[in-house]
Structure 1
Amino acid sequence: MFKKSLIAGAIVTATFAFASSAFAIGGASGPKVTYPVKGKLGAVIMNPYKIAPLTAVIRNGGYVVTDVSVRIVPKENGQEIAYKVSDKQVRTHGGIPVFGLYPDYVNSVEVSYTRTNHGKSERVEKEVYKIYAQPFSLEQPGSAVGPLFKATVKKLDPEFKDRLILINNLAADPAANASRVVWNNPMGGALEWNYGAQNAIIDTTGEIRWYMDPDAIYDATNIYKAGIMMGFRQNEDGALSWGYGQRYAKYDLMGREIFNRRLPDGYNDFSHAMDAMQNGNFLLRVASSDVLRGDGKHVRTVRDVIIEVSPTGEVVDEWRLFDILDPYRDDVLKVLDQGAVCLNIDASQAGKTLSAEDLAKMDESDRFGDIVGSGPGRNWAHINSVDYDPTDDSIIISSRHQSAVIKIGRDKKVKWIMGSPQGWKGDFAKKVLTPVDKNGKKIKCENSKCEGTFDWTWTQHTGWRIDSKSDKNVFYLSVFDNGDARGMEQPAIPSMKYSRAVVYKIDQKKMTVQQVWEYGKERGHEWYSPVTSLTEYHKDKDSIFVYSATAGATYNLQSGAFESAPNPFIEEFKWGAKEPSLEIQLHNVSGYQAMPIDVNKAFNTK
């Protein structure tokens, strides 16, 4: 692996004549300073926090530096990155943070600032630093090809040219040195998932402008420092939060650690979702380290617990979903494609389903762990997203293996269920929303299928509240409808499957749901993502951002076996538009999620 240097030693120059030596040398009576100083400020430190190689800090050189702006001059036909830097951020990083350098390239970085020393201030309107950033050097498994992925820009409307997009993907295979561990004390759990990190930010020309080198924080051989990095979100302060394995973390875009903690001891196996709440706390999708079942067996549960943690790491509350929902509702479990049970993709099982007898035998057995089955200790729920509604202090969860998005209050009572009514019993059946058309007229539904254009979501991901369009009564919900087991069945031909990005409008008083927008059905099987993916509203452009993250794989229609890695699609739509304003396709990569990143939010926080 290419070794990093603290100082940008290859090329760091300024575009004006500087009359002093490149090295500040102290005399016998004073300290000796031997770092290279090029420009009116201090040295340039590359990759200052060891995990973001395409970042740098232009040190303050002993001055008080204020009123900073940065511009990364684009390559020919490239995308400009420009942002203001708050005085707080300059103080935090000891100088000017530089983000978005091109790898293996001499970057021109334009900075403007005011420098003050001993009460005297000087305004520098434009100073150019030439900064060389190292070639892409992330270690990948042996089967990986090239630097993470390649991107093809297929459509780009002018309004979206400034987008920077965080890509959170999964390595094609576990690293060769990954730990091979399955929790067995007590039985069950999901620790075996241990794929390397593939996290990068691309611009709208497809160039990688940031990536994570996780060596400083990730160790595939250590169960407490390994696991799939998932659940990335940009917080209101501009920093990124996410989790991996037995940890959850928050870092800024420069790679500076805000926190990186082990899960509290009573919980394990983070994956999929970490949500920053409006009250400053975080919601984490985890599992319980020890549950005593009704039959007296102790198990680790699987993907079925939500905890709320404070900024300092205390567990404020928990939602034990095996106590709140019905963990034995198996209607969806019996029709899932066993070749694509989210992370557990097994081409040899493509198209196969579990019979009632199969599930009954499993329920009676001591087989626990990350396997499809009902009851605590098995993957009966597979919660893959969590969101918060501050208007009534509730959480919204997406349960893949129940094909339902569900709202649950602080009192642990279900408020509504957005999903097929089939199999919901007792009080749960009363909480299933009623589909209506745009005029509020009830839509006829039978056997998990509805008339007209309305459809439920199936094995969905990212059931998120659209905050800026919702209020206490009206709830707008964005979802990625993966589409496996659509209509509670497998289609006659695998190529009949399709996915959708969907927006619903829920009247929480009337307990009705209206489908107001969808995309993907018309794209057919080429856009089908059996697992992962994302649909999310963005207020800055009044848009819907979509990542069909495991689409575009080719496979043998006879055997069902995959013959290539996925080729995912990124799209962004103006609100209500039928066609995207932005479309980028990635190649030969297994995607998880992607989302726009606001660089000004990251560096101009007051």
Structure 2
Amino acid sequence: MSNKVVYTSEDNLITRQNRAEEIFLEAFEAEKPVLGNAHIIVNPYLINPLSALILFKTDKEVEATLTVHGKRNSREDIVHTFTKTTSHALPVLCLYEGMETKVTVALSSGESETFMIRSEELPADVCRCNNARTSMDYFGDNIMFLSPAGKNLPTGYDYKGEIRWLLTINTMFDIKRLKNGNILTGSHRFCRMPYNSTGLVELSMLGKIYKEYRMPGNYHHDHWELEDGNILALTQDFTTDTVEDMIALLDRETGEVLRTWDYKDFLPQNVGGSGSQDAHDWFHNNAIWYNKKDNTITLSGRHQDAIVNINYDDSTLNWIIGDPEGWPKEMVDKYFFKPVGDVKNFDWQYEQHACVVCPDGDIMCFDNGQYRAKVKEKYIKNTENFSRGVRYRIDTDKMEIEQIWQYGKERGQEFFSPYICNVEYYGEGHYLTHSGGISSIDGWASDGLGAFLDPEDPSVELRSVTVEEKDGVVMYELDVEGNFYRAEKLSPYHDGENLVFGEGKLVGNLDVTPTFDTIPELEEVDKLISSEREIVIEEDEDRLVFHGMFEHGSLAMVILDGENDRRGYYLNTAAVNHLAMCSGAFLEKDDRQLKMNISKNGLSGKYNIKVLYNDSIFQTGVTIYC
């Protein structure tokens, strides 16, 4: 029996990006190239293979207009003008894959230069477009950005369905553009199952990470930039028995948690539950929307089939949209709406995602429709079900609700997504509906979530379909391989955007990883643990991630044996049945394969890493210094 433990130690991606930037800026400042011999760095920040950076100097302050030429005709060109400067750093976005892209830089002084830039190769398993249906006149140079729901990657598609933007790290959940032009999304760094990441990352479209906001309760699903720049982020308190039922207010500069909202303060647990509810994940918050007009927060609770509105200042409950069956009568009478209007065609939403507050106060969401009932006896089979985008008009004085728009019901099971997805409001009658969790087996809607299916099985098909409708006419439809959490249409460049250099930073803090109360007194053997356990230890600047293979029901623990203290971290080897899996990024093919994040917060000194397995404590041969 062989013994082998794999250990890797790598600087944080931000540190590696800082080092890469320092190297190319040092060369740039030393050589001071003019436009004719500009420095061109492909994938300058290591994670966007369809990007480049053009660096050059001019004697006088001039504007630079960048044109990324379309490969078919000039109508496909992406053009952006940067503000005046003498030191020019032009991000080149949306390079074509597998070919040289023609890029022209024209200065306001009259000078011009054209370059041919070849992008780096994309990973072999990127999700390709099955079909794209729109026109250049409608879609223009926008890119449809899809955020992953599995082990696929954040990907941007042009109007033809060609991949023009991609990150080679699996950043998670929604991609939102900030007021400064950067995007904010979930970190790719694993923290806790099933899909909690360390926090949020603010990065440019080029891929440069400016900040990673680490959170003690980790990040999941959604976030919101407030007017003052601070961030509302969905989180939880891991010292309690529940998850996905808190908001954290983050300081934009420091990442400090300024305030939290706990949903147990204004909602009862385990009432009015959806078919996926359990006591641990009783609410399952998957969306947040702040409305400045009335200073309220709207939340989407998948596991209560409920869209909930609360006051920002005091967390008091205002109203609930959803099927009232199963809720206490006193709450139904006070907080729920009564359908009016065309009630024959009215449908409540079930296990919904992505609540949106329209300018007039109407509420939109993606109605997944999972089970489409509150009690098991009424559940609808996925093959007979539908998903849709829906818009409700609510009257909070009369507590009445009217369904005024929907898209998707008419498409039946082929548009059905039991999880993830979103809607967007662009203007009156102009909406996006993203059905990103479509999964089928032999052509029929699958019973399980796409994240749990094997995409290599020839009978399995995973798809995402994104539709834009204007005044009842479908103007855009993108059908791609794989499941994607959300879709966001954005222009690749932002008005007035100039790349800002400087060190990216890790801000905020991870929690102190809880230890087990006692470490069993077992024999400590002086040999490495068996290779059958497939131990991998990944060390980062602020944590380590332990991977191992353990049979269900076995006793297993990671032990950090320090000079001054000894800490045990219990590994739960019980089989876990996840009722929700909005991102399968951290799932393993074999459910005996376990991962544990151990934060370095609270650790000090030298630690030998050992593994307790069944009746012995084994060595790993790995030592870390904190």
How high is the TM-score relative to the length of structure 2?
A: 0.67
Return the match for 1:306 from 247, 268, 282.
247
Return the match for 2:93 from 91, 99, 119.
99
SS state at 1:514 partner: strand
Return the match for 1:237 from 180, 197, 210.
180
Return the match for 1:55 from 26, 45, 51.
51
Instruction: Tell me if the contact between 1:65 and 1:113 (Cα under 8 Å) persists in the aligned partners.
Output: no
- Counting only pairs closer than 5 Å after superposition, residues 7-18 of structure 1 correspond to structure 2 as none
Aligned pair 1:457/2:349, yes or no?
Answer: yes
Aligned pair 1:288/2:237, yes or no?
Answer: yes
> Structure 1 residues 507 and 83, CA, compared in 2 at 3 Å: closer, same or farther?
farther
Distance in 2 separating the partners of 1:163 and 1:87: 21
SS state at 2:441 partner: coil
SS state at 1:40 partner: helix
Instruction: Tell me if the contact between 2:232 and 2:249 (Cα under 8 Å) persists in the aligned partners.
Output: yes
Instruction: Tell me if the contact between 1:236 and 1:601 (Cα under 8 Å) persists in the aligned partners.
Output: no
How high is the TM-score relative to the length of structure 1?
A: 0.69
Return the match for 1:150 from 129, 132, 141.
129
Return the match for 2:468 from 572, 577, 582.
572
SS state at 1:103 partner: coil
Alpha-carbon offset, residue 257 of structure 1: 2.0
**What CA deviation, in whole Å up to 9, does each residue of 1:22-62 have, x standing for no partner?**
xxx9xxxxx984x9x68436211222222222111211235
Alpha-carbon offset, residue 252 of structure 1: 1.2
Superposition RMSD on alpha carbons, in Å? 3.1
Aligned pair 1:258/2:231, yes or no?
Answer: no
Alpha-carbon offset, residue 246 of structure 1: 1.7
1:165 match: 144
Alpha-carbon offset, residue 592 of structure 1: 0.9
Q: Which amino acid in 2 is paired with 1:130?
A: M
Distance in 1 separating the partners of 2:445 and 2:226: 47
Q: Which amino acid in 2 is paired with 1:477?
A: I
SS state at 2:345 partner: coil
1:82 match: 78
Distance in 1 separating the partners of 2:438 and 2:345: 23
> Structure 1 residues 283 and 492, CA, compared in 2 at 3 Å: closer, same or farther?
closer
Alpha-carbon offset, residue 481 of structure 1: 0.2
- Counting only pairs closer than 5 Å after superposition, residues 181-260 of structure 1 correspond to structure 2 as 196=151, 198-214=153-169, 229-244=172-187, 245-260=197-212
Instruction: Tell me if the contact between 1:112 and 1:127 (Cα under 8 Å) persists in the aligned partners.
Output: yes
Distance in 1 separating the partners of 2:209 and 2:445: 49
Distance in 2 separating the partners of 1:605 and 1:96: 7
SS state at 1:412 partner: coil
Instruction: Tell me if the contact between 1:84 and 1:600 (Cα under 8 Å) persists in the aligned partners.
Output: yes
> Structure 1 residues 151 and 276, CA, compared in 2 at 3 Å: closer, same or farther?
farther
**What CA deviation, in whole Å up to 9, does each residue of 1:81-109 have, x standing for no partner?**
42323328x78x95222111112211111
Instruction: Tell me if the contact between 1:554 and 1:564 (Cα under 8 Å) persists in the aligned partners.
Output: yes
Return the match for 1:326 from 247, 250, 268.
268
Q: Tell me the matched-pair count.
A: 453
Alpha-carbon offset, residue 436 of structure 1: 2.0
Alpha-carbon offset, residue 127 of structure 1: 2.5
Alpha-carbon offset, residue 155 of structure 1: 4.1
> Structure 1 residues 583 and 552, CA, compared in 2 at 3 Å: closer, same or farther?
farther
1:506 match: 394
Instruction: Tell me if the contact between 1:106 and 1:131 (Cα under 8 Å) persists in the aligned partners.
Output: yes
Unaligned runs of 5+ in 2: 1-16, 22-26, 188-196, 454-458, 500-626
Distance in 1 separating the partners of 2:73 and 2:386: 36
Aligned pair 1:392/2:280, yes or no?
Answer: no
Instruction: Tell me if the contact between 2:89 and 2:498 (Cα under 8 Å) persists in the aligned partners.
Output: no
Return the match for 1:553 from 423, 440, 444.
440
Distance in 2 separating the partners of 1:237 and 1:538: 20
| Higher percent of residues as strand | 2
Return the match for 1:428 from 307, 331, 346.
331
Return the match for 1:123 from 72, 92, 110.
110
Instruction: Tell me if the contact between 1:157 and 1:582 (Cα under 8 Å) persists in the aligned partners.
Output: no
- Identity among equivalent positions (%) equals 24
Distance in 2 separating the partners of 1:104 and 1:500: 37
Distance in 2 separating the partners of 1:112 and 1:47: 22
Between stretches 562-571 and 95-104, larger displacement belongs to: 562-571
2:318 match: 415
Aligned pair 1:524/2:437, yes or no?
Answer: no
1:402 match: 304
Q: Which amino acid in 2 is paired with 1:199?
A: P
SS state at 2:365 partner: strand
> Structure 1 residues 332 and 395, CA, compared in 2 at 3 Å: closer, same or farther?
same
Unaligned runs of 5+ in 1: 8-24, 26-30, 115-121, 139-144, 172-195, 219-227, 292-298, 342-371, 438-442, 444-450
> Structure 1 residues 385 and 558, CA, compared in 2 at 3 Å: closer, same or farther?
closer
Aligned pair 1:45/2:32, yes or no?
Answer: no
Return the match for 1:494 from 379, 382, 390.
382
> Structure 1 residues 246 and 566, CA, compared in 2 at 3 Å: closer, same or farther?
same
> Structure 1 residues 492 and 304, CA, compared in 2 at 3 Å: closer, same or farther?
closer
Instruction: Tell me if the contact between 1:79 and 1:204 (Cα under 8 Å) persists in the aligned partners.
Output: no
Distance in 2 separating the partners of 1:279 and 1:511: 33
SS state at 2:107 partner: strand
Distance in 2 separating the partners of 1:557 and 1:39: 57
> Structure 1 residues 63 and 570, CA, compared in 2 at 3 Å: closer, same or farther?
farther
Return the match for 1:484 from 370, 383, 393.
370
2:616 match: none
Distance in 2 separating the partners of 1:394 and 1:63: 52
Q: Which amino acid in 1 is paired with 2:460?
A: S
SS state at 2:362 partner: strand
SS state at 1:565 partner: strand
Between stretches 43-52 and 396-405, larger displacement belongs to: 43-52
Alpha-carbon offset, residue 557 of structure 1: 6.4
Distance in 1 separating the partners of 2:356 and 2:125: 34
Instruction: Tell me if the contact between 2:178 and 2:184 (Cα under 8 Å) persists in the aligned partners.
Output: yes
Distance in 1 separating the partners of 2:77 and 2:310: 41
Distance in 1 separating the partners of 2:73 and 2:439: 28
**What CA deviation, in whole Å up to 9, does each residue of 1:257-307 have, x standing for no partner?**
2211211x3x23x2111122233221111111213xxxxxxx3x3111111
2:562 match: none
Alpha-carbon offset, residue 315 of structure 1: 2.2
**What CA deviation, in whole Å up to 9, does each residue of 1:539-596 have, x standing for no partner?**
5x9721121001252358699466413221111111x41x311011112x12211110
> Structure 1 residues 600 and 543, CA, compared in 2 at 3 Å: closer, same or farther?
farther
Alpha-carbon offset, residue 597 of structure 1: 0.9
